[in-house]
Amino acid sequence: MAKPLIEVQALRKAFGRHRVLKGLDLNIQAGESVVLFGPNGAGKTTFLRILATLSKPTSGTVRISGVDINDNPEGIRQYLGLVTHAPLLYGDLSAQENLRFYGRLYGIANAEKRIHELLERVGLLHRRKDLVRTFSRGMVQRMAIARALLHNPPILLLDEPDTGLDPQAAEMMTDFLREIGGSQRTVLMTTHHLERGLALADRVLILQGGRIRFDEQADALSYETLRPTYDRYVGTGVAL
Amino acid sequence: MKRYLQVLWAVLWKDLRIELRTKDVFTSMAVFAVLALMIFNFAFELRVPDKSVVIPGVLWVAIIFSGVLGLGRAFISEKDRGSMAGLLLAPVDRSAIYFGKMLASLLFIFVMEAILLPLMVIFFNLNFLSWPLLLLLFLGTVGFATVGTVFSGLAVNTRTREVLLPVLLFPVMLPVLMAGIRATIGFMEGDTLADMMKWINLLIFFDILYLVVSYLTFDFVVEE
C-alpha cells in the first residue's frame, strides 16, 4: 500500500482541563473520500482545525505528504482547502471580489480565468458582481466551495458544509462534492447527515469521545447496516 | 518576499474596499473624535486662559480614544463575520496579515486625524498646525496602530474583547502618549525642532520596538 497522504499519530488536544482529542490515530490515502461522523463535542471540528493548521495539537503528530504540519505550516496550507459552516467570505464584497482576494492570498497565476471557471462551475457566474450578503445560504455555501477550490488543493476539508442548507440545496451540494471529489482529490468531510455522508464516502469513520471508534470501507456499508452502529456511538435522533 | 507583499496588499485592499462601502469604522471613529472635541471644548473654554496648555492633551486623548474604536474592529469584524480562519489559512507568514491590517488601521486613523485637526483649529480658535506637529502625530499614530493591531488580534478571542483592548493597550501606549504630549506642549511653547528631538527619538524608538515585537509575536497571538 502506498504511503498515506495524511498520517495522524496519537493526536491529543485539550482546552484547559477539557480533553477533546484523546490519542487519535488515522491514515488517509491520496484520493480517498473519508466521511467522519460523530456526536456534537466529539472533536470533529477540532480535528479538522488541527489538520488545517488553524489550531495546534497538545501532543501527537500530523504529517501531510510526509511533512509534519508544525515544521512547515505555510507550505502545508497550500495543499489544503477548507469549507466550514461559516463561509469565510465577506458579505460586503462581490462574489468576484471575494475570489480575487483569496486568489491574491494564495498567489494564483491567471486568477481571473480560474475565478470565471469556478463561478461558472458553481452556477454563480451571472451573480459575480453582486455582493455576497445578497446571496441565499445555498449560494453562499457554493461560493465557499469555490473559494476552497480556488488554488486547486489536493486535500479538501469539509466541516459540516451542509449545515443550515435546505434539502434541495444540500442535495445540489452533495452532487457537486461528488463531482469535484473525483479520484485525484482527497476529501475529509464531517457531517451529521448519515445518508448524504454515505453517498460521498469511500470510507466511514465515527469519532466519539476523542477517539476513532469505527473505521470501515463505505462499499461494505449501507444506510441500514450503518444505522445501528451510528446510533450506538452518535446517539439516536441525530442522523437523518 | 513578493508573495509576502502580495498578501499584505491583498489584506489592505480588502479592508479599504469594505470600509469604502460600509464606512463602519471611519464613521464611528470620526463621530467619536468630534464629540470628544466638543466636550473638551465646552469643558475648558471658559476656565483656561492659555488654550495652548490644554490643546496637546485634548488632541492626543481624542486621537487615542477614537482610534481604539477603529483598532478594535480590525479583527473583531473578521471574527464576527467568521472570516478569520480564511485569513489564517493563507499559505504565507502570518505577519503579512498583521501588516496589512495594521496599515489599514493606520490609514483610517490618519483620515480621522485629517478631519480632527482643522476642527480643533476652529473650535480652539488657534492655528497650531505645522510640519513638526504633523511629524509628531505621524510617529505617535504609527506606534499606536502598531501595538493596537496586535492587541486587537489578542483580544478578539476573549469574551470581554471590547473592554480588554483598551485595558491592555493604554498602559503599553503610555511611553508614546507621554512623548507625544510632552513634545506637542514643547512645540506649542515655542521649542525648536532640535529641542524636541529627544521626544521624537523616543517616539521612533518605541515605534521600532513595537513593530519588531508585534512582527515576532503575531503568529502566537492569533493561535488557538
In this prediction, residue A65 carries a pLDDT of: 92
Q: Is B182 on the interface with A (CB under 8 A)?
A: no
In this complex, which of A86, A102, A104 lies closest to B6 when CB atoms are compared? A104
Q: Which positions in chain B touch A90 (Cβ < 8 Å)?
A: 14, 18, 81, 83
Residue A237 or A70, more confident: A70
Exposed e or buried b per residue across A24-38, where buried means at least 16 C-beta atoms within 10 angstroms of its C-beta? bebebebbbbbbbbb
Cα of B72 vs its chain's centroid, Å = 10
In this prediction, residue B45 carries a pLDDT of: 64
Size of interface A-B (CB pairs under 8 A): 76
Q: Do A147 and B86 touch (CB under 8 A)?
A: yes
- pLDDT tens across B158-214, in order? 878 778 888 888 999 999 999 998 888 888 888 888 888 899 999 999 999 999 999
The answer on pLDDT for A236 being more than 80 is no
Q: Is A6 on the interface with B (CB under 8 A)?
A: no
In this prediction, residue B208 carries a pLDDT of: 95
The answer on pLDDT for A239 being more than 50 is no
Q: What is residue B48's three-state secondary structure? A: coil
Angle, helices B95-124/B24-44, rounded to nearest 10 degrees:
40
- The DSSP secondary structure of A88-129, one letter per residue, reads ---TTSBHHHHHHHHHHHTT-TTHHHHHHHHHHHTT-GGGTT
In this prediction, residue A237 carries a pLDDT of: 47
- B57 pLDDT band, cuts 50/70/90, is confident
In this prediction, residue A181 carries a pLDDT of: 62
Average pLDDT of the segment spanning B37-65 = 80
- B132 pLDDT band, cuts 50/70/90, is confident
Average pLDDT of the segment spanning A153-182 = 79
Segment 7-26 of chain B within 8 Å of chain A by CB: 7, 9-10, 13-14, 17-18, 21-22
In this complex, which of B17, B82, B91 lies closest to A93 when CB atoms are compared? B17
In this prediction, residue A183 carries a pLDDT of: 59
Bridge partners (DSSP) of residue A159 are A190
In this prediction, residue B53 carries a pLDDT of: 76
Residue B135 or B51, more confident: B135
**Closest among B57, B88, B63 to B153, alpha carbons compared:** B88
- pLDDT tens across A86-135, in order? 889 999 999 999 999 999 999 998 899 999 999 998 888 999 999 999 99
- B17 pLDDT band, cuts 50/70/90, is very high
Q: Is A38 left (phi over 0), alpha (psi -120 to 50) or beta?
A: left
In this prediction, residue A79 carries a pLDDT of: 92
Q: Which positions in chain B touch A93 (Cβ < 8 Å)?
A: 14, 17-18
- pLDDT tens across B94-129, in order? 999 999 999 999 999 999 999 999 988 888 777 777
**Closest among B126, B80, B117, B89 to B10, alpha carbons compared:** B89
Residue A34 or B160, more confident: A34
Q: Is A16 on the interface with B (CB under 8 A)?
A: no
Q: Determine how many CB atoms are found less than 10 A away from the CB of residue A3.
A: 11
In this prediction, residue B50 carries a pLDDT of: 74
Please answer whether residues A187 and A158 qualify as being in contact, where contact means their C-beta atoms are separated by less than 8 angstroms. Answer: yes
Calpha distance A161→A139 (Å, rounded): 12
Residue-range domains of chain A with CATH: 1-79+156-240 (3.40.50.300), 85-152 (no CATH)
The one-character DSSP state at A69 is: T
The answer on pLDDT for B87 being more than 80 is yes
pTM to 2 decimal places: 0.87
- pLDDT tens across A50-90, in order? 999 999 999 999 999 999 998 989 999 999 999 988 889 99
Rounded to the nearest integer, the mean pLDDT of chain A is 87
Q: Which domain holds residue B114?
A: 2-221
Q: Is B110 left (phi over 0), alpha (psi -120 to 50) or beta?
A: alpha
Please answer whether residues B3 and B90 qualify as being in contact, where contact means their C-beta atoms are separated by less than 8 angstroms. Answer: no
Residue A236 or B85, more confident: B85
Rounded to the nearest integer, the mean pLDDT of chain B is 88
In this prediction, residue A86 carries a pLDDT of: 86
Here the cell at position A170 is 444540500
Structurally, how many domains does chain B consist of?
A: 1
The answer on pLDDT for A238 being more than 60 is no
Segment 76-115 of chain A within 8 Å of chain B by CB: 76-78, 80, 82, 84, 86-93, 97, 101-102, 104-107
